[in-house]
């Protein structure tokens, strides 16, 4: 499709996003619009596209679609403009990139270019993969077929050595309830009845919230990045602690996030290509 859909944001949206990733009242560059370094974190780039609509239905794309069975599988983000505006009118252009038939599950890959509506400049580019349980077996390709950016499909593998940096962040029990206000009102993250049908004892945390927490660790340690890719390898529950381990290899930070309470992986195969000389001011 070539139709763009609009989303306008202001400092309030930036502050809400930062708070929903766990920013504290003392993190003034993240929570106070009059601070000299007030800023949108690079991962704010996932917010505009999420608040726009798409011209397709999952029902038309895969078999037996159920929203309760949909999980966020992977995310790729490019930040195409720094500094990121702390207020903007944006237009997002969606495209359907690929549909993969995993037998018992379907993968649907979509892409979103977000532009500054006033200047026409690109701000962000996102590619999302959703993993829809029970929706495979429709006779589609078992392998991806679409051409995608190299960094979006990179199989980032951390080196054997101990991580160069480790940051632990405890999420709050109410984190998903707050994160929803960024625009993802999926009941999976708040409604116990809904999440139960999806196979979870309690509502689970948004993948993009975990992404934001891990990406904030990468940013705090190594500065701004041009792009970032993650796989959501395991479920995170609000209240659990994310341990983000990072390895710098040349211009790339490879990272992974583990749930401290269970030792299970939350984010794997993740990497970010750094923007040279862009230290964080947090």
**Catalytic residue annotation:** 184, 189, 204, 207
Give the Cα separation of 74 and 217 in Å (integer). 18
Give the Cα separation of 101 and 136 in Å (integer). 5
119 strand-pairing partners: none
| Residue 206 binds ligand HDC (CB under 6 A) | yes
- 45, 48, 73, 183: which one binds ligand HDC (CB under 6 A): 73
Give the Cα separation of 17 and 14 in Å (integer). 5
Structure tokens at 259: 């749930």
SS3 state of residue 260: coil
Q: Which is nearer to ligand HDC, 131 or 219 (CB)?
A: 131
| Residue 154 binds ligand HDC (CB under 6 A) | no
Give residues 52-71 in contact with ligand HDC (rule: CB under 6 A): 71
What are the backbone dihedrals phi and psi of residue 12, each rounded to the nearest 5 degrees, phi first?
-60, -40
Using the contact rule CB under 6 A, the part of the chain among 25-33, 83-91, 126-134, 151-159 near ligand HDC is 126-134
For the bound state, the minimum distance from the C-beta of residue 85 to ligand HDC, rounded and expressed in Å, comes to 23
Using the contact rule CB under 6 A, the part of the chain among 38-46, 168-176, 183-191, 218-226 near ligand HDC is 183-191
How many distinct helices (H) and strands (E) make up the chain?
A: 8, 10
**What is the H or E stretch that residue 167 is in?**
strand 165-170
Residue nearest to ligand HDC (CB): 73
Give the Cα separation of 121 and 85 in Å (integer). 12
| Residue 106 binds ligand HDC (CB under 6 A) | no
| Residue 176 binds ligand HDC (CB under 6 A) | no
For the bound state, the minimum distance from the C-beta of residue 28 to ligand HDC, rounded and expressed in Å, comes to 29
What are the backbone dihedrals phi and psi of residue 101, each rounded to the nearest 5 degrees, phi first?
-100, 105
| Residue 207 binds ligand HDC (CB under 6 A) | yes
| Residue 180 binds ligand HDC (CB under 6 A) | no
Positions in the binding site for ligand HDC (CB under 6 A): 71-74, 102, 107, 110, 128-131, 184, 186, 188, 204, 206-207, 231-235
């Amino acid at each position: 499709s070539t139709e763009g859909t609009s989303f306008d944001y202001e400092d309030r949206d930036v502050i809400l996003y930062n708070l929903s990733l766990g920013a504290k009242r003392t993190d003034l560059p993240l929570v106070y619009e009059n601070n000299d370094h007030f800023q949108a974190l690079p991962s704010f780039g996932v917010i505009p596209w999420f608040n726009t609509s798409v011209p397709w239905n999952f029902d038309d794309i895969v078999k037996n679609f159920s929203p309760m069975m949909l999980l966020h599988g992977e995310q790729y983000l490019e930040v195409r403009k720094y500094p990121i505006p702390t207020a903007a009118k944006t237009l997002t252009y969606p495209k359907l990139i690929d549909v993969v038939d995993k037998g018992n599950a379907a993968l649907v890959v979509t892409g979103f270019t977000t532009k500054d509506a006033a200047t026409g400049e690109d701000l962000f580019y996102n590619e999302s993969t959703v993993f829809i349980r029970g929706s495979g077996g429709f006779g589609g390709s078992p392998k991806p077929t679409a051409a995608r950016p190299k960094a979006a499909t990179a199989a980032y593998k951390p080196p054997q050595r101990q991580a160069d940096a480790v940051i632990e962040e405890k999420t709050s029990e109410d984190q998903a309830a707050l994160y929803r206000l960024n625009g993802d009102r999926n009941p999976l993250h708040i409604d116990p009845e809904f999440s139960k049908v999806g196979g979870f004892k309690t509502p689970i945390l948004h993948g993009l919230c975990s992404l934001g927490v891990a990406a904030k660790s990468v940013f705090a340690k190594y500065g701004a990045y041009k792009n970032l890719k993650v796989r959501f390898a395991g479920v995170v529950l609000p209240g659990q602690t994310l341990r983000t381990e990072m390895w710098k290899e040349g211009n790339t930070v490879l990272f992974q996030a583990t749930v401290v309470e269970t030792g299970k992986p939350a984010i794997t195969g993740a990497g970010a290509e750094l923007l040279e000389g862009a230290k964080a001011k947090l």
